Structure 1
């Protein structure tokens, strides 16, 4: 029986492939992007997080951890109010909060803190599920897929190919039930593994984060050589629709030079459209809720005028930019 670790199953998603879809987030990633919007999905195993917003500081967990992994700290937090899409005018309020940080190196995952907390402030990110359990949930929405112009299952993460056996089995099972499949990937995976997955994939959502080798490694932890090569291989292979998605991250990949190189690379692949995902302020909420440090300023939407300038670069290279979520 094949099992995997799932962080979330999200229904009625609109930006994870054609039509209305069910997106299954698999846990684990080979990259370590500083701006990751799903920090709970990076590690490859179920783990405990502390939701400080639910904590009432009752002290029930103070002595419960057998390894001393729970550490109480006080830190300055930025509370954001009044933000609106397309606006960079927000109210930011500084406040001191008491947080419990979990030393992942000491945490055994014994769940004693989860069981003792009456506020449900400790949660487990990552549920071990079978292929049959996941597909049963996905198949419940079959009527929605059929009525939404190509909807279906999208595997995301984390990085779904980081669980290669589970990912492949899910794609196979979905196709056996006649469900459209999409694979949302960073492309950092051995070609023989990816190539087999593509046999059961209708759409590939392929992320391009930065074209500069040095910058890509600095901010994601890995080179982009394999990623670029896999993008070319997918096109040469054929038999699957490919959509490139470009996250726009301030001061990391949003320079005119990088966007020009990105547009040229996509155009050389023979593609016509590109999906652009502009940076948004709510990316930091997961970090705040999970007691993690967020590396960007809280509460800032990516400026509209800069977004429009980037889109113009893609148009100048013969591409049609589609702005998602911004």
Structure 2
């Protein structure tokens, strides 16, 4: 028999992390350091792009959206996780769970849309270089970014809104963090509309970017092979190959995590591992792959650091000279 609970007074309970008492504090330290590392890497990329006018180009302006998105995802996941580790309390209010689920899905959808826009930018740059300034003009670039985030907030906002009910029939979140599938399992009554719309969102958010990335990269490889330029070929393969590998890993990990929620027979530990990996690894890997390993960003970051360090060195040198004169 189902019992009705009010979302305003009921506290939800997430799955146990199953960490032994001696390992709780080390896990807390590791989680906190991981979160701080993610913030540091992504803020470094953000500030490097923002403070250097040479990087105010379409490619880097699109890249600017990725660390913003990754920090949103990490902030949705880590603070709640490490606080529950320290307090050993896996309870969460419905409103906090709803916000965490909203940010989690905004992060996942935002990553797909941003990577798709970056793939399109590389396609235009390599396959249509003469039209690049026209197709990726400031106005067109602004339109791409607005469309990208509008789609993200509209599709995910409606997805989560369908699960928002005043009465729920369960208080158990079947995951280590809140997400749409776990919230849907709390809902009383018929959830067919939620299922149909959820499948549409999965097909749109994951299917369309996959199609865009595969088609654009096929065209890029064809163009590079036809031109027979070894420098262009190696640069394109390095840039696009890394992008494609990271994109496909994120694509299939996210897809399997979603599928695992739809099949009750899916192993619980596998579902946990897939869900956590989507929230942990991309925010660490993305700034390293797309940001700090990009040659122009590296050069501008080194120049920026030297610029900040040089005045300090000069000041110390002058202080030493003054002390010697005394």
| TM-score when normalising by structure 1 | 0.22
Name the structure where helix makes up a greater proportion of residues: 2
| TM-score when normalising by structure 2 | 0.22
Report which structure shows greater RCO (CA 8 Å, sep ≥6).
2
Structure of larger gyration radius: 2
